[in-house]
Homo-oligomer: A and B are copies of this chain.
Amino acid sequence: MFERLTVTVAQMRELDRAAIRDYQIPALLLMENAGAGAARVIRASLGPSLDGGVLVVAGTGNNGGDGYVVARHLHNAGHEVAIAAAAAPASPEARCNHDIARALGVEILPLDEPARWPRAGVVVDALLGIGISGALRPPMAAAIEAILLLGEAGARVVAMDVPSGLDADTGRPATPTVRATITTTFGACKAGLVAELARPHVGELSVIDISLPRALLAPLAGGAR
């Protein structure tokens, strides 16, 4: 309904906050809709590449949590899935989904040893979300470099919310920044994703309904609906 709306990072944070605080929507439920929606897009768009296996590269934040949800849905759909994960997840929701993926038997490898990552036809970039700004810390930069190499070797790369390294407000890419085949963005499109200089990084853009109340989105959409 609000596919053409774009929001700033500050607006997106307020949307999430209001959904959780004013409408009592559990954050776990928003995360589930995000990851399940991304998994549907991947299955609909990248079927043949899925036969080469899936590698989810997960950060410690909620972006990583979205990645664990994608990993679960693709595993349940019968695909070979592995996860390269940073340290323990930082939020209860991300931890919950990490624990489910582990209980399912999805292999979880260390983020900082890309040489050990398995081959994959599809790489899910769930490293960094809309929260980042400024220079990348070295382990993050190294993981992004590894994702870029997999993409150059032929893997399809699907970014969760924004390609890691991209400034979600301005679209300015950090050095390095993921180059996605598809970016699935959650709840509403971020302004930076449609900026001209973001284009080589974003790929095909898909906005996923995560069940944000329409009463929160409508005032932002104005005439753009």
B-binding residues in A (CB < 8 A): 1, 22-26, 28-29, 32-33, 36, 72-73, 75-78, 96, 99-100, 103-105, 209, 211-215
Give the complex CA separation of A32 and B28 in angstroms: 10
Set of chain B residues within 8 Å of A99, measured between Cβ atoms: 24
Whether the pair A211, B36 counts as a contact (CB closer than 8 A) is yes
29 of the cross-chain contacts (CB-CB < 8 Å) are A1-B76, A1-B77, A1-B78, A23-B103, A23-B104, A24-B96, A24-B100, A26-B28, A26-B96, A28-B28, A28-B29, A29-B29, A29-B32, A32-B32, A33-B36, A36-B36, A72-B211, A73-B209, A73-B211, A75-B214, A76-B211, A77-B209, A77-B214, A78-B214, A103-B213, A104-B213, A104-B214, A104-B215, A105-B215
Select the residue from A22, A24, A212 with max chain B CB neighbours within 10 A: A24
Chain B residue with minimal CB distance to A36? B33
Select the residue from A22, A29, A104, A209 with max chain B CB neighbours within 10 A: A29
Give the complex CA separation of A214 and B81 in angstroms: 13
Give the complex CA separation of A36 and B35 in angstroms: 13
Select the residue from A75, A96, A211 with max chain B CB neighbours within 10 A: A211
